[in-house]
């Protein structure tokens, strides 16, 4: 293969990665709100899994939709906001994750999850996201004083921090768990998937969480709604006990999605209280399960 062909092939890979990331970013951005920032999970997952040489493509993939959104909203929020909003968050996170990746791995040599690395990277990126998003919000408030008197920047900072942390916990551990399983199995088939105890247990908890979600969303009793949300923590603990951190990661994702679907107001204090507890439970599940022998190896993807 000629040097010219290799050159264009490399550019094609960069463009494909940038396009794929931009598409995924747009999807997650449309289901994101201040205390559940799913884009943080997509961002951290890519920074942990994509080779560093392709990081410029990730930055480009995030830059394009952010610039488009900034240009459209200039009349509403002003030019300073547009400039701040155009800075890709992933570039800031790269500065944090690159030295961490150079020193540590998210898996230990025996295949266990490096819980300190994962939770540390999650918290660091969440903090960067909260700071940068708060600064961007501040530029809009300064450009139009008094336009949004209900916005308390201190409250929003903590909401952004919680949302970024929980959003990362929703996607990143699940993606790492599935990658480890598929890497160890070496191939994928529907038969292999349907024989998986983890898959069967996941399919068992989905209807339960669906009913809890429907009840919490439809009831007007605030106490009953909050109890339904807290009941969503049970599958996280149960799946962690049965399948190790893989089970906790997947159940944490499903429970997080189900609870987010019950939100009926922005920055609802009851919702935020539950999400704080959910983030602590998922973190504790990953931390404690990763210390034990990898129980999930007994039921990797299929029963042989």
CA distance 65 to 136: 16
Cα angle, residue 215 at apex, residues 213 and 218 outer, rounded to 5°: 105
| Cα 174 → chain centroid | 9
Q: Return per-residue pLDDT of the chain as tens, 304 residues.
A: 555 666 566 778 889 999 999 999 999 998 888 889 999 999 999 999 999 999 999 999 999 989 998 999 899 899 999 999 999 999 999 999 999 998 888 777 766 788 889 999 999 999 999 999 999 999 998 888 877 788 888 899 999 999 999 999 999 999 998 888 877 776 666 666 677 888 899 999 999 999 999 999 888 899 999 999 999 999 999 999 988 889 999 999 999 999 998 987 778 889 999 999 999 999 999 888 765 554 444 443 343 3
Q: Does one domain contain both 25 and 163?
A: yes
Q: Does one domain contain both 123 and 192?
A: no
Task: Return the closest-CA partner of residue 36 out of 168, 192, 222, 227.
Answer: 168
Q: Does one domain contain both 157 and 199?
A: no
Buried b (16+ CB within 10 A) or exposed e, 209-225: beebbebbeeeeeeeeb
CA distance 136 to 191: 48
Q: Which structural domain range is residue 248 located in?
A: 187-292
Q: Does one domain contain both 129 and 204?
A: no
Q: Please check whether residue 299 lies inside any domain of the structure.
A: no
Q: Does one domain contain both 203 and 54?
A: no
Can you give the pTM of this predicted structure? 0.89
263 is written with which tokens? 């939100």
């Amino acid at each position: 293969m000629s040097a010219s062909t290799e050159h264009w092939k490399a550019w094609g890979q960069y463009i494909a990665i940038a396009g794929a990331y931009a598409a995924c970013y747009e999807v997650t951005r449309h289901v994101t709100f201040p205390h559940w920032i799913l884009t943080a999970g997509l961002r951290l997952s890519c920074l942990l899994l994509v080779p560093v040489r392709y990081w410029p493509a990730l930055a480009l993939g995030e830059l394009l939709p952010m610039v488009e959104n900034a240009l459209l909203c200039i009349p509403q929020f002003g030019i300073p906001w547009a400039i701040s909003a155009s800075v890709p968050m992933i570039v800031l996170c790269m500065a944090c994750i690159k030295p961490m990746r150079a020193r540590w791995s998210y898996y230990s040599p025996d295949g266990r999850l490096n819980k300190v690395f994962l939770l540390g990277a999650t918290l660091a990126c969440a903090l960067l996201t909260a700071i940068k998003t708060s600064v961007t919000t501040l530029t809009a408030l300064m450009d139009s004083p008094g336009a949004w008197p209900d916005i308390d920047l201190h409250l929003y900072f903590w909401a952004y921090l919680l949302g970024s942390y929980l959003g990362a916990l929703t996607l990143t551990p699940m993606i790492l768990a599935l990658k480890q399983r598929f890497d160890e199995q070496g191939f994928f088939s529907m038969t292999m998937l349907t024989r998986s105890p983890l898959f069967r247990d996941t399919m068992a908890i989905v209807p339960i969480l669906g009913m809890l979600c429907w009840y919490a969303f439809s009831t007007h009793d605030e106490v009953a709604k909050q109890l339904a949300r807290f009941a969503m923590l049970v599958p996280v603990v149960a799946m962690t006990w049965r399948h190790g951190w893989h089970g906790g990661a997947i159940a944490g994702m499903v429970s997080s999605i189900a609870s987010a679907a019950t939100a009926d107001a922005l920055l609802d204090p009851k919702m935020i209280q539950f999400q704080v507890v959910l983030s602590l439970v998922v973190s504790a599940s990953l931390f404690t399960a990763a210390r034990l022998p990898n129980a999930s190896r007994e039921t990797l993807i299929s029963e042989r």
